[in-house]
Amino acid sequence: MTTPPAPRAARRGRLRRLTAAAAALASLAALAACAGPPRNASGIGFSLSAATPRAKGDIDSFTWALYAEPPTLDYTVAFDYPQNMVLSNVCESLMRWTPGLTTEPGLARKASHPDRTTWVYDLRQNVRFHDGRTMTADDVVFSLDRQRDPDNAAAWTQVFQNVASVKKTGPLQVTVTLKKPDSQFPQYMASAAGVVASEAGVRAAGRDYGTSGGLACTGPFELGTWNKGQSIELDRFDGYWGRRAKSGKVVFRFLPDASARTNALLSGDADGGYLIPTESYARLRGSGVGTLYFGEGLSTVNLAVTDMKGPLGDLRVRRALSLALDRAGFVQVGLGGAGTPTRALTTRAAWAEAPERTARRAFGGARPAAPDIARAKALIKEAGATGASLTVATSSVGQDVSLLATAVQDAGTRIGLDIRLKSIAPNAFTALFTDPGARKGIDMFPLTYYDSITDPLDLLTNFKTGAYLNFAGHSDKAYDELVDRATAVDDPKRRLAIEAELHRRANRQLPWIPVAEWPTAVFLNKRITGAPTSIAYMYYPWAADVGAAR
């Protein structure tokens, strides 16, 4: 998802807004010019690393920089970077997403699919929870049912929409029966949707579960001290069923300010971090204190549309904004040159299993192009939207967010729209994804979306009528039917052929406005190594691999 800023007073007066936008544009253009041309023809100023070097030994502890404090560590609402970056090391799922973005057995030693609407999970024996109890099928049924319970307002409810029942069919076996075929459900069992916690532990915590005390999960680390507003500590769990963690402790420090986060990495106050501020890429690369790695992110930077009752309800206005955006300039400055401009909603890596012909069809007509201000102005005039006012949420936590908001403001100003910026505090930004009230008065916000599975449908399902992240209430019957058709097909190649048409339709309708593909960035100082470079860190117990570099 994304990140944001400390609140500041909203600008008043059209003249002041235009002056600020012009100044920001001049700064953006100057920085882009200084950055020089891309390093290669594709415009990518970086190279992807499959992994960081393996650890050579154990360490007592390491400290990790985190841009915001998780509002809760309840796995049912783990839908953003801060929660998942911590939880992936504490709570485990039935299946596991690997650093190579494939799926392997997790707490389930085997998953079988006897017919199109049945999934059977055979569980590992003698898996201990952090509360001392041993995992049973009852714990799995309880955990998955928590996700399905509408009273829990779970972020993963959509994953379970086709589930008819979750039943214990043996001491260490759980059977999930679907209402209809669903190719996505088994894939999500490797995400936070498939987390298993101790029923007794969760019930004992009651309403405090996720905010104080333990989490009663099974991972290589257990929740230690949570110093509210400062840090979260994880302690190595010596009763872990799998490979022992190389570090005895992990300390996550909350550093909302991008400069403070970078300085902590440079000084050694933090040994490493994901979600590196893009403005710090060059500084960290040349620091000599560590290494900045890039890996596959399955991530796209977008402008999320949150209100289609106003001017953005007209496709011509959304198309005009898309045409006016300087994507290449934003990538060079906003993403530090580490990204690829795109007018497609999904990453190309998400189509890894698609035949070349299918992938070409999926991205047809979505190639990035230089801004077309004249065409954009004509569309705004045609829509009768000249002078229309729109509000974009912004953030000072990182220039990937703040400069995209500024770029949108500039694009809108150049084509006759009145774009206003509204700052939101880092710890409140997650609410934009979960609380409609938090989005009140906001028409758009910068959103970095990461796929939780290696399938384009992960993102494309968000635009189905009633979907969890369908912020603006986009609705298209034909689109919904394509989602249902793709969901029902198990065979990847057949499913991807349907998804190609779905992708083309979404790119035309612009429920979100795509801007760039963005790789994962991770910085490690010279003391540690072993962290994965891919977006798998959201659900894979990455901290267990981190150890001594020497």
| Tens of pLDDT, residues 177-227 | 999 999 999 999 999 999 999 999 999 999 999 998 999 999 999 999 999
Q: Is 122 exposed, middle or buried (0-12, 13-18, 19+ CB in 10 A)?
A: middle
pLDDT of residue 435: 86
Each residue's pLDDT tens digit, 468-500: 899 999 999 999 999 999 999 999 999 999 999
21 has a pLDDT exceeding 50:
no
Q: Tell me the C-alpha distance between 274 and 129, whole Å.
A: 28
Check whether 37 has a pLDDT greater than 60.
no
Distances, alpha carbon 255 to alpha carbons 155, 232, 427, 504, 516, in Å: 25, 12, 11, 39, 26
pLDDT band at 24 (very low <50, low <70, confident <90, very high): very low
Q: Which of 39-43, 99-103, 131-135, 489-493 shows the lowest per-residue confidence on average (mean pLDDT)?
A: 39-43
How confident is the prediction for the chain on average, in pLDDT?
A: 90
Residues of the chain with CATH 3.90.76.10: 68-214
Q: Which amino acid is at 180?
A: K
Q: What is the mean pLDDT of residues 146-155?
A: 86
Residues of the chain with CATH 3.10.105.10: 14-32+298-520
Residue 456 region by backbone torsions, left for phi larger than 0, else alpha for psi between -120 and 50, else beta = alpha
Q: Which residue has the higher pLDDT, 12 or 99?
A: 99
Instruction: Determine the pLDDT at residue 45.
Output: 60
What is d(CA 239, CA 48) in angstroms, rounded to the nearest whole number?
Answer: 35
C-alpha 162/C-alpha 183 separation (Å) is 10
- How many C-beta neighbours within 10 Å does residue 258 have? 26
Show the tokens assigned to 544.
Answer: 């267990």
Assign 458 to helix, strand or coil: helix
Q: Taking the CA of residue 389 as centre, how many other CA atoms within 13 Å lie in the half-sphere pointing to its CB?
A: 10
Average of per-residue pLDDT across 517-538: 97
Class of domain 14-32+298-520: alpha beta
- CA neighbor of 168 nearest in space, from 199, 190, 207, 204: 199
Task: Please say if the pLDDT value at position 10 is more than 80.
Answer: no
Q: 68-214 — its CATH code?
A: 3.90.76.10
pLDDT at residue 9 above 80? no
Distance CA 310, CA 14 (A): 20
Q: What residues contact residue 195 under an 8 Å CB cut-off, 6+ apart? A: 75, 78, 87, 91, 92, 93, 143, 217
Scanning 4-60, the segments in alpha helix (DSSP H) are 14-35
pTM of the model: 0.85
In this prediction, what percent of the chain has a pLDDT beyond 90? 82
% of the chain surpassing 70 pLDDT: 91
At 372-398, the pLDDT tens digits run 999 999 999 999 999 999 999 997 767
Find out whether 233 and 221 touch, Cβ atoms under 8 Å: no
Lowest average pLDDT, out of 363-367, 505-509, 531-535, goes to 363-367
> Is residue 429 over pLDDT 80?
no
